[in-house]
Structure 1
Amino acid sequence: MKALVCKQFGGVEDVELATVSEPALADPHAVTIEVEFASVSHATGLMIAGQYQRRPPLPFVPGTEAVGRVVACGKAVTRLRPGDRVVAIADWGCYAERFTVPEYTVYPVPDSLPPKVALPIPLSYGTAYCGLVWRCALTPQDTLLVLGAGAGVGLAAVEIGRQLGATVVACASTEAKRADALRRGATHAVAPQDLAAQVKALTGGRGADVVVDPVGGDLFGQALRAAAPNARILSIGFASGSIPQAPVNLLLVKNLTLHGFFFGRYIGWTPSDERAEHAPALQQVMSTLFQWAAEGKLEPTVSAVYPITGLGDALAALESRKVVGKVAIKIKETET
């Protein structure tokens, strides 16, 4: 079968299209999936460079999220069967015509959802939902400030925050992204410049009760100043490429709670591999998210699709900061 193979850590030029063996199905709790589309994220480039939290053994096939159909199931699998439309989260391996993954992070897709609508839900929307609900206990009385609200987890947080009843302030870098965030349910949309002043003006001087930060960098410090007393800050990534240092004195005087949130803990991306333990709770979360999407309450978006040979272009599009939603590569030759 065809697959994109990374033979050494480095740049995307070190990933090449190759013919590899079909994946084995030795684990009784695993399924094999025929891939239609696979998502591309900032973490993809970090993993290829060997700079992500985990370093796969070389050579490896990148890709951590894919949509397709189940073609084979291990003997212990009862909740899935061949022919099922699914989205899956994997350690890596999704940039291939087929891959095998433990059933714990494989989620059935409703018949009404097209594959490109289903694809962004597990990682982007799963991260946003679990961070907002499990860690920050977001309520309808809260004002939610979302940084990086134009793409990926940030845009998902805007939609989920609206669905949970909060007042959402979306912070995005371009007018087009801010307009899209407003269309998806944000109450207000602001530019990153003078962030604290803008948020305070919109909240009668109080600030935001919950802050979602997938950006990091200098914007993190501005967001702390935009936070209300007793606010909850959710740090989930560093898309800016810069890891900020928290001014603990500001956390202290404003009674702020800083939550670090690594969604990977729930999907097996830690040395202890807790995916089986968290599978029931996450499957319920995904069921809720897929239902909301099917009802039109969420709008998961893949804004650009590249061929299997276009991974470099896909990563460049992400780095340009012009992408709304997610980008993907097309694995299967024919689209459904």
Structure 2
Amino acid sequence: MTERHHDSGPEALLPSAQPVRFLTDTGAAVRSRPRYPLPNPETLRRAYHAMVVGRRFDAQATALTKQGRLAVYPSSHGQEACQIGAVLALEDGDWLFPTYRESVALVTRGIEPTEVLSLLRGDAHCGYDPHRHHVAPQCTPLATQTVHAAGLAYAERRKGSGRIALACVGDGATSEGDFHEALNFAAVFKAPVVFLVQNNQYAISVPLDRQTAAPSLAHKGVGYGVRSERVDGNDPVAVLAVLSAAAEHARSGQGPFLVEALTYRIESHTNADDATRYRSDAETEEWRRRDPIARLEAYLRRRGHLGDDDVAEAATAAEEFAGRLRTAMNADPKLDALELFDHVYGVATPQLDEQRETLRSELEAEEALT
């Protein structure tokens, strides 16, 4: 059973004894019904399509690193339920605070893939307009964006906008001070923010048991007065159900919500990492059998919500998406070296202006020689 037995008091903050599940590893419905409402079939069909496209994008981005078109790429293969669930649980005006691993979430949010990958190609610190998409820049330092998310959510509460924020982090980020400061601030000021911890079992090469002695990462919210929950992060139905409930909790003025999603990173940390040095092939294969896309497809087929034509359509859309990405990334970007000095300060310092003019003179002299 995943239901809580207390609706008020400190016990209400506690996560379920077992991670919330709607589906078995093979995609069959679990016998006991979790307390969270079942997402509607159309939302699940949309999630399936986005997950198929997202995985193909992820594979194509990984290939681009091997071709020298990207400097680095952190794959989220295996974590698609979390990536897609985070986006679908939000409304258009809500804010998403991603890490460097949320590229699939960003393309699902509607950001052009070349804009998403510009950071990883080295073209810009952020290749998209955060205000247009309500997506903060992808964050490489661990947990720093959780403080930003809590602050923005609090500002939205003060304005009465009804908007919320959702911050994605990994298990390693829960060991950082910023994470705990964000939880405490959000709880005290009832900031409407959801913290999604994608517990993929490793902080690069550091296993979970070297990160924490707590019963679960979800329990870390309890000490701050934050409602918390654990969910099977490879069960797309459960992830959508829990994150949607967490978003509603925050939006309705009840304060922050912490969700720990138990999942697994199938690929290495990045293309610069060798995961075979710290985990076994048997462990990875065990998690492959819990594949979130296969589980959702099997469930939707059993319920009559997905057929062969739908599966073929999603696969075709994914290939077309990857093809457009290849074409776009094979074109060399047009860069202006002087943009190095833009967006460093609100008002440029005299030293920065001097450096800009030095570079401008050097570039003009070089151009005159060619």
Q: TM-score range by the shorter chain?
A: 0.3 to 0.5
Higher helix share: 2
In terms of fraction of residues, the more strand-rich structure is 1
Greater relative contact order, per chain length (Cα 8 Å cut-off, separation 6+): 2
Question: Normalization by structure 2: what TM-score?
Answer: 0.33
TM-score (norm 1): 0.36
